[in-house]
Amino acid sequence: MFRKKRKVQGDETILSLARIVGDDYILYRKEDLIAYECDGLTLYKGMPKAVVFPKTTEEVSQIVNYLSNCNIPFIARGAGTGLSGGAIPFGGEVIISLVRMKKLLRIDYENRQAVIQPGFVNLKLTNSIAHKGYYYAPDPSSQYACTIGGNVAENAGGAHCLKYGVTTNHVLGLEVVLPNGDIVEIGEEGIADRPGYDLLGLLTGSEGTMGIVTKITVRILKNPEGKKTVLAYFDRIEDASYAVSDIISVGIVPAALEMMDKTAIEGVEAANFPVGHPKDLAALLLIEVDGITVGIEDEINEIVEVCRRRNVREVKVAKDEAERAKWWANRKTGFGAMGAISPDYLVQDGVIPRTKLPEVLAKINDISKKSGLRIANIFHAGDGNLHPLILFDAKKEGETERALAAGSECLRACAESGGSITGEHGVGIEKKEEMRFIFTDDEIEAQTNIRSVFNPHNLLNPGKIFPSPSRCAEIKQEIITNREPVIN
């Protein structure tokens, strides 16, 4: 990754940053920076000034202190899997990559906590504690790559967050470098609640605009005694949607309750982890229950009964762990699988009240017809977190713009149903304008005022989350067309 034993040559900023991290841990040549022009949202691109790779909190603090004194904007970056463009520069920012800060610092089984550095990859935490019968609950589908620092910034969710909660429900303490370089501790190990404002809750999900997380204490959970996984095939998407609400309303909270529609099934079956779903299905549900073994059987029977009442074509229980893992691999690689049926795709992320599923899915279908673009739906149905995947071909004139407009329409449909414009991927660059679907100008201003308490000069990740009056849409357009944007 890094060129060994090289001598950095650059302007005063590059030389100063190199003095902090060492010559081998800074990238500043254009050819090296290209990989950092975007994150998982590849529609927008901007060239950073440099990327630095600190090893310690003190180095992060020195970098931040130097940059803020020079009035140079900067962005924290984990694995760069974000889907709303949170780690994308507009041009000229310094990216502070946390990937070298990837140690598991401490595991405390007695208090059920782990302390990790921000660059620690999500799945590695569960892998590191599995031999003791423990796991880390938030499981984004990108968990094999994304970092826990990035998860904290985005308040990441995952398939099993329906029952166990999203990242914010598992963060117990943070060490944070503030935008002036100060190092602060938030939260207290071992103490579940403390007086005063919930700063942990505020920082978690702040999309890297309030501070750079350099150490995290998270809750770890004991593996459930047992788990069972059900696959239910439906001929009508409405039946699958009603079954979702019915399952919850009979009093079951499954560990996971996921849905895929016909187009999504076509994609996952054409990609690397097919399981042999029938090609003519309208929708499928992947449902997992866990807990005490005796209770699981009853819940499974009840779920099967609910699905039958909703005209399920076939419902089956995974016969062993291998089959369960196969079903999950098929689901968790679902976004990437769209590459098997479309040259490009845009992942959207909205939330709706669960009971509005049939209505909103019908609206998304209308948006698909109107835009002339196919839309696949793979999502966390149990918590109403939709992921419409808009399939398009960027090489075809006007399709990118149509895909973006269709994505925005999907979010409008979510907002109009009483939901929200993001469930877990954040606002980033992508959904700034759509913030207006759910917040008034006053509410947006109140939130930027809160950001200013932590980030008074807006040097940390500027231009993200909040629309700036009338300029936001233009900036997005300038980035798509690779013109130099102006950041307000």
What residues line the site for ligand FAD (CB under 6 A)? 39-40, 75-83, 86-87, 98, 118, 140-142, 146-147, 149-151, 153-154, 156-158, 207-208, 212-213, 335-336, 424-425, 461
Measured from the CB of residue 157, what is the shortest distance to ligand FAD in angstroms?
4
Measured from the CB of residue 140, what is the shortest distance to ligand FAD in angstroms?
3
What phi and psi, each to the nearest 5 degrees, are found at residue 260? Answer: -135, 140
Measured from the CB of residue 52, what is the shortest distance to ligand FAD in angstroms?
13
Cβ pair 414, 139 in contact under 8 A: no
Cβ pair 390, 418 in contact under 8 A: no
Side by side, the strands of the sheet bearing 344-347 are 314-317, 226-234, 283-291, 256-261, 375-379, 388-392, 344-347
Nearer to ligand FAD, 73 or 485 (CB): 73
Task: Write the single-letter amino acid at 330.
Answer: N
Nearer to ligand FAD, 174 or 364 (CB): 174
Measured from the CB of residue 304, what is the shortest distance to ligand FAD in angstroms?
26
Nearer to ligand FAD, 68 or 461 (CB): 461
Place of tokens 């399952």: 247
Measured from the CB of residue 383, what is the shortest distance to ligand FAD in angstroms?
11
Nearer to ligand FAD, 48 or 485 (CB): 48
Instruction: Count other C-beta atoms under 10 Å from residue 319's C-beta.
Output: 8
Measured from the CB of residue 332, what is the shortest distance to ligand FAD in angstroms?
8
Nearer to ligand FAD, 307 or 376 (CB): 376
What are the CB-based long-range contacts (under 8 Å, 24+) for 410-414? Answer: 410/348, 410/350, 410/364, 410/367, 410/375, 410/386, 411/348, 411/350, 411/437, 412/437, 413/350, 413/360, 413/363, 413/364, 413/367, 414/350, 414/351, 414/352, 414/360, 414/386
Nearer to ligand FAD, 315 or 472 (CB): 472
Q: Which residues contact 476 (CB under 8 A, 6 or more apart)?
A: 44, 429, 432, 433
Measured from the CB of residue 19, what is the shortest distance to ligand FAD in angstroms?
22
Instruction: Count other C-beta atoms under 10 Å from residue 138's C-beta.
Output: 28
- The Cα-based distances of 193 to 30, 152, 188, 340 in angstroms read 47, 18, 9, 47
Measured from the CB of residue 37, what is the shortest distance to ligand FAD in angstroms?
13
CA–CA separation, 452 and 379 (whole Å): 34
Tokens for 242? 């009603």
Nearer to ligand FAD, 161 or 315 (CB): 161
Measured from the CB of residue 102, what is the shortest distance to ligand FAD in angstroms?
11
Nearer to ligand FAD, 208 or 419 (CB): 208
- The Cα-based distances of 83 to 69, 72, 257, 345, 389 in angstroms read 31, 25, 22, 12, 12
Cβ pair 425, 363 in contact under 8 A: no
The runs of H, that is alpha helices, within 45-191 are 57-69, 122-129, 148-154, 161-164
CA–CA separation, 358 and 279 (whole Å): 21
Measured from the CB of residue 83, what is the shortest distance to ligand FAD in angstroms?
5
Nearer to ligand FAD, 147 or 371 (CB): 147
Comparing CA positions, the residue from 455, 474, 468 lying closest to residue 68 is 455
Measured from the CB of residue 137, what is the shortest distance to ligand FAD in angstroms?
12
3-state secondary structure of 275: coil
Nearer to ligand FAD, 113 or 147 (CB): 147
Nearer to ligand FAD, 141 or 217 (CB): 141
